[in-house]
């Protein structure tokens, strides 16, 4: 098949919908996710492989920054049959827009091999944990510890709350911080929690939904889940210490998985977990997930001479502003 690289600035809704149709299990390829990213100040575009006028693979990409520090970010690479055509076209596209930094992510990608392109600035190997929802009994592969905790939480009478309401966002952020503090005290590497603006954008656009485990009026555990027609992605989560004691977190994941299956999802991606966070790795593998080996990378698409000139210009402007 003879494929051609295509890009679209300010893509119309029908093209964004076509990307979602090409990747129905990928929540990072929905029109709602594009809307959320645009509301945060990013400029959406589409990069794709076409056979004639028909898109066969594609994904959203997001431009940000002024002329001398312009970035292009792809959050989730699609599967593609002619990767060399895609990468060659993507580099040409970046150079035509004077992009300084190209950042390639692989959140929810089915697989990804990122070539060593000119101007590589960094590369990271990563792994995601995917729970396939087509099995008859979702807990068939779960660890005995998760099974005990799920049973304990069920006996405690925990209930599930689904919401996009503003008040629930504060609970989610507080629970995230509580979990991060516990992991930091154990000596694990932790990332700073994402800005509340991103959380609000994802919920307001309909790209994501909060699932929370409650004991009466108290929220014990919370998961932000990105949604698409046939897939879901565990974007962030947090649990109070009281919730940990009665198994609220594995209980919530198991109930969310059941709900997603009932609503037509094929996969529930529990996201990544680095080796530096062994507790998180045990938690996600404990559901009988399959591991997907992935990469992320960043590049400077400009030539060496252009990069040096641009660095000098940026330094000069910074000096002038002093």
Q: Per-residue pLDDT for 311 more than 70?
A: no
Confidence of residue 165 (pLDDT cuts 50, 70, 90): very high
Residues 191, 58 share a domain: no
Answer yes or no: is 23 within a domain: yes
What would you report as the CA-atom Rg of the chain, rounded to the nearest whole angstrom?
A: 21
As given in the structure block, the two tokens for residue 102 are: 């190209």
d(CA 27, CA 10): 20
Give me the pLDDT at residue 45, please: 98
Answer yes or no: is 124 within a domain: no
Residues 98, 236 share a domain: no
Residues 151, 281 share a domain: yes
d(CA 4, CA 20): 19
Find out whether 73 and 62 touch, Cβ atoms under 8 Å.
yes
Give me the pLDDT at residue 181, please: 77
Answer yes or no: is 189 within a domain: yes
Strands 120-132 and 290-299: antiparallel
As given in the structure block, the two tokens for residue 188 are: 């694990």
Residues 202, 95 share a domain: no
Residues 256, 159 share a domain: yes
Give me the pLDDT at residue 189, please: 61
Find out whether 8 and 49 touch, Cβ atoms under 8 Å.
no
The count of structural domains within the chain is 2
Answer yes or no: is 99 within a domain: yes
The predicted-structure confidence for 258-292, as pLDDT tens digits, reads as follows 999 999 999 999 999 888 888 889 999 999 999 99
Helix (H, G, I), strand (E, B) or coil at 70: coil
d(CA 75, CA 307): 24
Q: Which of 91, 96, 32, 20 minimizes the C-alpha distance to 59? A: 20
Residues 283, 175 share a domain: yes
Residues 139, 89 share a domain: no
Residues 281, 136 share a domain: yes
Give me the pLDDT at residue 195, please: 61
Answer yes or no: is 176 within a domain: yes
DSSP 89-123: HHHHHHHHTT-SEEEE-BTT-S-------TTEEEE
- Domain around 74: 4-119+300-321
Answer yes or no: is 74 within a domain: yes
Residues 225, 136 share a domain: yes
| C-alpha neighbours within 13 Å on the C-beta side of residue 158 | 31
Q: Point out the least confidently predicted range of 42-46, 150-154, 300-304.
A: 300-304
Give me the pLDDT at residue 244, please: 94
Helix (H, G, I), strand (E, B) or coil at 53: coil
Sheet holding 54-64: strands in order across?
4-9, 43-51, 54-64, 71-74, 101-104, 290-299, 120-132, 267-272, 231-239, 218-227, 208-215, 159-163
Confidence of residue 319 (pLDDT cuts 50, 70, 90): very low
* C-alpha torsion angle, residues 192, 225, 37, 125 (rounded to 10): 60
Helices 13-22 and 31-39 pack at an angle, to 10 degrees, of 120
Q: Per-residue pLDDT for 178 more than 90?
A: no
**CATH number reported for the structural domain that contains residue 103 in this entry:** 3.40.630.30
DSSP 8-state class, residue 274: -
Answer yes or no: is 161 within a domain: yes
**290, β-bridge pairs:** 130
Residues 223, 74 share a domain: no
Question: In which residue are the tokens 């990468």 written?
Answer: 87
DSSP 8-state class, residue 77: P
Residues 208, 89 share a domain: no
Residues 261, 154 share a domain: yes
Question: In which residue are the tokens 């944990």 written?
Answer: 129
Give me the pLDDT at residue 309, please: 40
Could you tell me which residue, 189 or 56, shows the higher pLDDT?
A: 56
Confidence of residue 192 (pLDDT cuts 50, 70, 90): low
């Amino acid at each position: 098949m003879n494929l051609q690289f295509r890009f679209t600035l300010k893509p119309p809704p029908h093209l964004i919908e076509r990307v979602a149709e090409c990747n129905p299990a990928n929540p990072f390829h929905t029109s709602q996710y594009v809307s959320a990213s645009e509301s945060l100040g990013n400029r959406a575009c589409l990069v794709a492989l076409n056979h004639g006028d028909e898109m066969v693979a594609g994904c959203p990409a997001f431009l940000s920054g002024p002329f001398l520090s312009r970035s292009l970010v792809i959050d989730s690479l699609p599967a593609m049959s002619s990767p060399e055509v895609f990468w060659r076209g993507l580099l040409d596209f970046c150079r035509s827009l004077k992009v300084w930094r190209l950042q390639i992510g692989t959140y929810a990608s089915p697989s990804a091999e990122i070539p060593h392109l000119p101007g590589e600035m960094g590369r990271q190997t990563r792994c995601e944990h995917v729970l396939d929802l087509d099995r008859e009994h979702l807990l068939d592969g779960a660890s005995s510890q998760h099974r005990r905790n799920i049973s304990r939480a069920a006996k405690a009478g925990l209930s599930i709350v689904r919401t996009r309401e503003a008040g629930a966002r504060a609970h989610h952020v507080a629970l995230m911080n509580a979990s991060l503090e516990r992991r930091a005290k154990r000596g694990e590497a932790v990332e700073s929690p994402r800005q509340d603006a991103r959380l609000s954008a994802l919920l307001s656009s309909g790209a994501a939904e909060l699932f929370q485990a409650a004991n009466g009026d108290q929220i014990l555990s919370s998961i932000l889940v990105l949604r698409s027609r046939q897939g879901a992605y565990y974007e962030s989560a947090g649990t109070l210490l009281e919730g940990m004691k009665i198994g609220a977190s594995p209980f919530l994941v198991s109930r969310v998985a059941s709900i997603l299956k009932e609503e037509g999802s094929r996969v529930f991606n529990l996201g990544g977990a680095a080796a530096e966070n062994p507790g998180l790795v045990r938690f996600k593998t404990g559901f009988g997930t399959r591991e997907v080996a992935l990469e992320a990378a960043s590049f400077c698409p400009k030539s060496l001479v252009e990069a040096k000139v641009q660095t000098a210009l940026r330094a000069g402007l910074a000096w002038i502003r002093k």
